[in-house]
Chain A
């Protein structure tokens, strides 16, 4: 049987996930629970359903009680197909490698012209390492530049196997201090840091991505610790600072989760520049925003 994966979005014309014009494949399921997550609906493994309230026309297919509940339950694909406005949506499509490859290469001409390609993100793509490795292998064999966007919280064997098919790895680094990392993401960063050290010995093209979250990791101490770590790693040639923005807020409400970041103000441009300057002073090529 063909390998399948659970994909929750194939986003064309992605401009923040590696060089050029890219198609980002968002894989469903994540081991971390970051409070600032942009895609909270992608965290849980397995298929789920959401209802976009602003689209709903109250056609009568869903009861008032259902509409009042932010968590969609008892609804299936059949209901999605019958929803007239597209308000009821499935989060996650079971997809074969061949179908996914076909969807991605639709934008080949734009990849060719822009130096772009495909990026596997999530969720956490290494949660579905077998599927992602196979898809990346096939896409790369078909001339598509491949990138893996990972939080690093995975089995080393999975990371190594997938990274072997990635022309570029986008590696998230949130907080260096383990206790603070646990508080922010619900998990220790020991595996993440070990994996990064190991990866940097076998992969020559790693971009570190630091989400800059006010009050969580935007302090000088964390940046200094980040610099100290990255300076030792041979494969790292770039750091992207990704400033927090509140796009996740509406989505948290939509899936019935609390938004722990409610009220958080995005970091000031001057502060971001200061953090970037610190990294650059350590000899690290640094961008703000991650656009190529």
Chain B
């Protein structure tokens, strides 16, 4: 790192996350004045324009890449038109011990006086909740599923390469062409399309004007600057901001700044999930890098410094906090921006290059939480690239994560995408697959598999909420065999998916009609060509995902039921259910038997793994291909983020010996500590799932540092990853840390502030995690050497 990069990095790490009410004030004032005067998309675009014109700019000392979403680094704006914090929410955010956000008293006053009164009943969340049926509310309250879009807009998407070859003025020309071709006489949607197109053009103006304001500020700073070197930098920044993103970038610096303005635009207009991501950064920047080296305007070192400044920008952008928070709840500052490296080019050739290695060096050296990073490993990816990534992973930050690029392509082909679009796609957020720049691939919520089995064992009754929320699948005493039990489990899954999907359809239409994302639509194909918004089916591909959680726990629970009740007939089903309902009180010997002596998923044991695949097939058949409201389909994903902790809290004890309230298994990983036959057995078990039928699976593994020592250690890990991918595994990520270290960090957080661990699809500071999540990570099996 250069002195500048180190200083900017340190400033970013030291900055305290805070809440800014500026965006809320501008938006509220705008809505009070303009409500009812414009169509919905134009209203949204004009509100965005008002923010871009009025927001406080930040240009930090020494910065080369400029622009912040808030008035200062880590000052997080709010989005009251979507979801409005109460004054109590803000007080809790300010006071809670972990992942807090500083809130000035004046912000709370503004909220109480202006923001809350106006948005109560008007925010999209309030509107949505009144439209959702009671069955949805009951299931949601019971923890059967979560809902992504009640707090944040659909996002989950990634840029392709178009912004590097076309400026926003070019986009506006395309918009004008579509508008000119509209047939107001015959097309009943022509007016809607015209309003959408005009809104998109306004959004382009907003971003161009936002960039111009930065150019003016840079010039003003340059004029006042005594240091000739910095003055020259500021003039370069001013030139850059005058040119991009209005026009296609001409050099490496402009390319990074062009992306950054698009990034800020996407996350300022709405608070979409997973922020935004640059996609295949090494591939996109490669022509600018080569040209810069060739004409002498760039060196490897100057490119490196620009990239480091670019990385700091991501880390400055803390996730917007939730509303309706409780004091006990902690979240994450991470906003899930995720950079793809290596992978394939559109023509199918290897996409890695010298920038892949440069970026891996930067990821290693800076080890910032954001941006997160992953390597897309195809059969064509050279070993030297994967091994470089593994050396970074060995340092223990949990990144980059590793994806099977060939499986990622195959998954998308199965969904009907073109081969080229599939290759240009990749992974974002945690492990989600999409066609970059061409797809709205929306995660809608986690789905609690353990709760579904619980409902099957209680005829649809949820003891915690005291309501009959599930299907009436009958008294378990009447189950004649395991097939009957599995049929009841399947019926509960389908019943709850029906409720979930009926709710999703409402939510999708609410966003489609009331909350378009006008700027994101400009840079997502084919929104301009069709005159439709990103949130209304304008993207070329529209997949809606449901994320199943707890397949390890549910598999092990099914194994116990099958073996004890139906195969060995050593215990009547009613007895086992009653004992679990009493949280094994007085039955610790039985609980130990369940934990220690039965086949478990994660040990390459065909008896257990067969129930995992049976469950997976049932889930897949229940979800895949069901139509969404955007011309696309529902798909299955297997990832938890941190939801396995919450889902465990709302479930009673399960028949695998898990106690009431304890976390369920995460991703497709085995139950924490249940895998006892080493890493190859885990990978074998996980690979029995048909990953190609998903939109992403998540596998966590934890190694002690000793296993990965030396070149031999890298070679071994390399062969494990290549083997798993040969078996069509989708993704794997590694923690390289001992449980002892984690326990020390728990006992003495102040001495371990910098300890970064992999949670599930993202890395976070260990000391910022909730105690339950810390414990869960400690209990994951630690693979040592033999």
**A residues apposed to B, CB below 8 Å:** 11-16, 20-21, 24, 55, 57, 59, 81, 83-86, 106-107, 109-110, 112-114, 116, 291-292
Contacts of A86 in B (CB 8 A): 596-597
Cβ of B783 < 8 Å from any Cβ of A? Answer: yes
A53 to chain B, nearest CB (A): 15
- Closest residue of chain A to B604, judged by CB? A106
- Closest residue of chain A to B676, judged by CB? A86
Cβ of B134 < 8 Å from any Cβ of A? Answer: no
Are A57 and B588 neighbours in the complex by a CB distance under 8 Å? Answer: yes
Contacts of A109 in B (CB 8 A): 723, 726-727
A214 to chain B, nearest CB (A): 21
Return the 4 tightest CB-CB contacts between A and B, nearest first: A114-B719, A84-B592, A13-B678, A113-B719
Are A292 and B712 neighbours in the complex by a CB distance under 8 Å? Answer: yes
Are A114 and B589 neighbours in the complex by a CB distance under 8 Å? Answer: no
- Report B674-696 residues with CB < 8 Å from chain A CB: 677-681, 683-684
Contacts of B677 in A (CB 8 A): 12
| Complex Cα gap A110–B592 (Å) | 33
| Complex Cα gap A114–B713 (Å) | 11
16 CB < 8 A contacts A-B: A11-B678, A12-B678, A15-B712, A15-B785, A20-B716, A21-B716, A21-B719, A57-B588, A81-B597, A84-B589, A84-B597, A85-B592, A110-B683, A110-B719, A114-B716, A291-B710
Q: Mark B242-280, 1 if CB is under 8 A from A, else 0.
A: 000000000000000000000000000000000000000
Contacts of A83 in B (CB 8 A): 597
Cβ of B649 < 8 Å from any Cβ of A? Answer: no
A24 to chain B, nearest CB (A): 7
Contacts of A11 in B (CB 8 A): 678, 786
Cβ of B593 < 8 Å from any Cβ of A? Answer: yes
Cβ of B715 < 8 Å from any Cβ of A? Answer: yes
For the A-B complex with A15-B712, A57-B588 known, give 15 more contacts whose Cβ atoms are closer than 8 Å. A13-B679, A13-B680, A24-B786, A83-B597, A84-B589, A84-B597, A85-B596, A106-B680, A107-B680, A110-B720, A113-B726, A114-B715, A114-B716, A291-B710, A291-B712
Cβ of B323 < 8 Å from any Cβ of A? Answer: no
| Complex Cα gap A85–B673 (Å) | 14
| Complex Cα gap A106–B722 (Å) | 16
Contacts of B590 in A (CB 8 A): 84
Contacts of A292 in B (CB 8 A): 712, 715
- Closest residue of chain B to A291, judged by CB? B712
Contacts of B592 in A (CB 8 A): 57, 59, 84-85
| Complex Cα gap A84–B594 (Å) | 8
Cβ of B707 < 8 Å from any Cβ of A? Answer: yes
Selected contact of B785 from candidates A16, A106, A107, CB within 8 Å: A16
Q: Mark B121-155, 1 if CB is under 8 A from A, else 0.
A: 00000000000000000000000000000000000
Are A113 and B723 neighbours in the complex by a CB distance under 8 Å? Answer: yes
Are B596 and A21 neighbours in the complex by a CB distance under 8 Å? Answer: no
| Complex Cα gap A116–B590 (Å) | 40
| Complex Cα gap A83–B593 (Å) | 7
Contacts of B726 in A (CB 8 A): 109, 113
Selected contact of A14 from candidates B681, B715, B727, B786, CB within 8 Å: B786
Are A13 and B719 neighbours in the complex by a CB distance under 8 Å? Answer: no
Contacts of B684 in A (CB 8 A): 106-107
**B residues apposed to A, CB below 8 Å:** 588-590, 592-593, 596-597, 604, 677-681, 683-684, 707, 710, 712-713, 715-716, 719-720, 722-723, 726-727, 783, 785-786
Contacts of A106 in B (CB 8 A): 604, 680-681, 684
A16-B715 contact, Cβ under 8 Å, with A57-B588, A109-B727: no
A12-B681 contact, Cβ under 8 Å, with A85-B592, A86-B596: yes
| Complex Cα gap A112–B596 (Å) | 32
Are A20 and B680 neighbours in the complex by a CB distance under 8 Å? Answer: no
| Complex Cα gap A12–B720 (Å) | 12
Selected contact of B589 from candidates A16, A21, A59, CB within 8 Å: A59
A6 to chain B, nearest CB (A): 20
A272 to chain B, nearest CB (A): 15
Contacts of A116 in B (CB 8 A): 719
| Complex Cα gap A83–B592 (Å) | 9
Are B785 and A84 neighbours in the complex by a CB distance under 8 Å? Answer: no
A145 to chain B, nearest CB (A): 13
Are B719 and A15 neighbours in the complex by a CB distance under 8 Å? Answer: no
Contacts of A13 in B (CB 8 A): 678-680, 783, 786
| Complex Cα gap A13–B589 (Å) | 32
Contacts of B713 in A (CB 8 A): 291
B315 to chain A, nearest CB (A): 36
- Closest residue of chain A to B712, judged by CB? A291
- Closest residue of chain B to A57, judged by CB? B592
Selected contact of A15 from candidates B596, B681, B707, B723, CB within 8 Å: B707
| Complex Cα gap A114–B724 (Å) | 12
Selected contact of A20 from candidates B588, B681, B683, B719, CB within 8 Å: B719
Are B680 and A16 neighbours in the complex by a CB distance under 8 Å? Answer: no
| Complex Cα gap A4–B101 (Å) | 66
A12 to chain B, nearest CB (A): 5
A15-B786 contact, Cβ under 8 Å, with A57-B592, A109-B726: yes
Contacts of A14 in B (CB 8 A): 786
Contacts of B680 in A (CB 8 A): 12-13, 21, 106-107, 110
| Complex Cα gap A109–B604 (Å) | 13
- Closest residue of chain A to B725, judged by CB? A113
| Complex Cα gap A116–B718 (Å) | 13
| Complex Cα gap A292–B715 (Å) | 9
Selected contact of B723 from candidates A59, A84, A110, CB within 8 Å: A110
Contacts of B723 in A (CB 8 A): 109-110, 112-114
A15-B597 contact, Cβ under 8 Å, with A57-B588, A59-B592, A84-B589: no
- Closest residue of chain B to A292, judged by CB? B712
Point out which of A20, A24, A109 has the most chain B C-beta atoms below 10 A from its C-beta.
Answer: A109
Contacts of A107 in B (CB 8 A): 680, 684
Contacts of B589 in A (CB 8 A): 57, 59, 84
Contacts of A16 in B (CB 8 A): 785-786
| Complex Cα gap A112–B604 (Å) | 18
| Complex Cα gap A116–B679 (Å) | 15
| Complex Cα gap A248–B485 (Å) | 47
| Complex Cα gap A47–B715 (Å) | 37
A15-B716 contact, Cβ under 8 Å, with A106-B604, A107-B684, A109-B723: yes
Contacts of B678 in A (CB 8 A): 11-13
| Complex Cα gap A59–B593 (Å) | 11
Contacts of B588 in A (CB 8 A): 57
B507 to chain A, nearest CB (A): 42
| Complex Cα gap A245–B727 (Å) | 37
B459 to chain A, nearest CB (A): 30
| Complex Cα gap A154–B432 (Å) | 57
Point out which of A13, A16, A59 has the most chain B C-beta atoms below 10 A from its C-beta.
Answer: A13
| Complex Cα gap A24–B679 (Å) | 15
- Closest residue of chain A to B591, judged by CB? A84
Contacts of A291 in B (CB 8 A): 710, 712-713
| Complex Cα gap A181–B1 (Å) | 57
Contacts of B681 in A (CB 8 A): 12, 106
Contacts of A112 in B (CB 8 A): 723
A247 to chain B, nearest CB (A): 11
B190 to chain A, nearest CB (A): 57
- Closest residue of chain B to A83, judged by CB? B597
B8 to chain A, nearest CB (A): 40
Contacts of A21 in B (CB 8 A): 680, 716, 719-720
| Complex Cα gap A12–B754 (Å) | 34
- Closest residue of chain A to B683, judged by CB? A110
Contacts of B716 in A (CB 8 A): 15, 20-21, 114
- Closest residue of chain A to B592, judged by CB? A84
B543 to chain A, nearest CB (A): 30
